[in-house]
Amino acid sequence: MKKSLLAALLLLLSFTTAPAVPSAPDSLSIKIGQMLMIGFRGLNAIDDPAFAEALQEGKIGGVVLFDYDVPSKSPIRNIESPEQVRQLTEKLQRLAPTPLFIAVDQEGGRVCRLKTARGFPPTVSAAHLGKLDNADSTRQASGATAKLLESLGINMNLAPVVDLNINPNNPVIGKLDRSFSSNPTVVTRQATIFVDTFHRNGIIAALKHFPGHGSSTTDTHKDFTDVTETWSETELEPYRTLIGNGYDDPVMTAHVFNAKLDSRYPATLSKASIDGLLRKQLGFRGVVISDDMQMKAIADRYGLAQAIRLAIDAGVDVLLFGNNAGIYDPEIAEKANAIIRRLVEKGDITPERIDASYRQIMTLKQRTITPAP
């Protein structure tokens, strides 16, 4: 049923060419909802009433799961056991009028939401696999992750990380063993195996963090992060090669500031970085997902409406609000939807820009998500 709805919505959009806001009363809200990926509290999809209501109303197009609630410092969030996660994802999909992206950060090693303490199998880090640089080892590790996610009803892994390990003391990449290597050829080779293995198991990949976070000395979760003096074009090589070879799953942006690319805005809010570099120069034609819009590198310097406007104008298709970067806002889906609607009504964002993101998102969902009957 949902697969038919997905196809019908995509077909309907293909006939929407007029520059005006679509005439159907809720068509704009449907499109905006698909642009929002939201984090929530609860082991059950209805534990957070505001989230559940927004989900049922089609104001959320994707969710992201966590195993720990940072704002409350609680180990209870969305993940308790394999069976509980299966039931959660099934309920989420049943509540949503359009099939959801259900995402998780299951990179392996230290960035691992599905932990052995909760009954999930062990994982290895990207750094470990990059050091081995053995295709069979990488296929085994990525295959185990993909099969696990598929069995749990999770259809998107916010991985692999293709940041180069330029600064081994980088607090958010190098020191956490999240990078395969400082060598772009090794990173590209490893990432290619991950992406191909994910695809064979029906899992959507997401390369991150564009245009490169590996040389940073600070953490965008916590503060403004300037890579102007440490970043080099070598950090684009994994993207250039993978995109050149046909990669069209999502790319996730970084909140890093890089004056070599944009003297005013960090990458997530930078039209020069996303529309100019990623899309026009590198030729990327897939979905662009922001890193968490509530991280301090963005939230401490831009108002919510300004950050949303800049990100969409820059070329971001899916705005991620993890609700787990120090604050929890149960109304974030409703707020973001209302802000984007006002921006369209005021003419700050055009209906065509919303349509472009909606088309990208729905095409990816139609290609990759097979809903339960």
Q: Is 291 a catalytic residue?
A: yes
**Do the Cβ atoms of 77 and 323 come closer than 8 Å?**
no
Buried b (16+ CB within 10 A) or exposed e, 70-102: beeeeeebbbeebebbebbbebbbebbebbbbb
Of the residues 48, 177, 291, 292, which is catalytic?
291
- Give per-residue burial for 249-265: e unless 16+ CB within 10 Å, then b: bbbbbbbbbbeebbeeb
Contact status, residue 346 vs residue 88, Cβ threshold 8 Å: no
Q: Cis peptide before 71, with omega less than 30 degrees from 0? A: no
13, 55, 263, 308, 327 from 305: Cα distances, Å: 26, 21, 21, 5, 17
Check if 221 is active-site.
yes
Q: Which pair of structure tokens corresponds to residue 285?
A: 């034609």
Q: What phi, psi does 60 have (nearest 5°)?
A: -135, 130
Question: DSSP assignment, residue 65?
Answer: E
Angle at 181 between CA 103 and CA 147, to 5 degrees: 35
Residue 143 C-alpha from the chain's centroid: 20
Q: Where are the beta strands (DSSP E) in 308-366?
A: 319-321
- Of the residues 221, 249, 292, 317, only one is catalytic, namely 221
Q: Cite the active site residues.
A: 221, 291
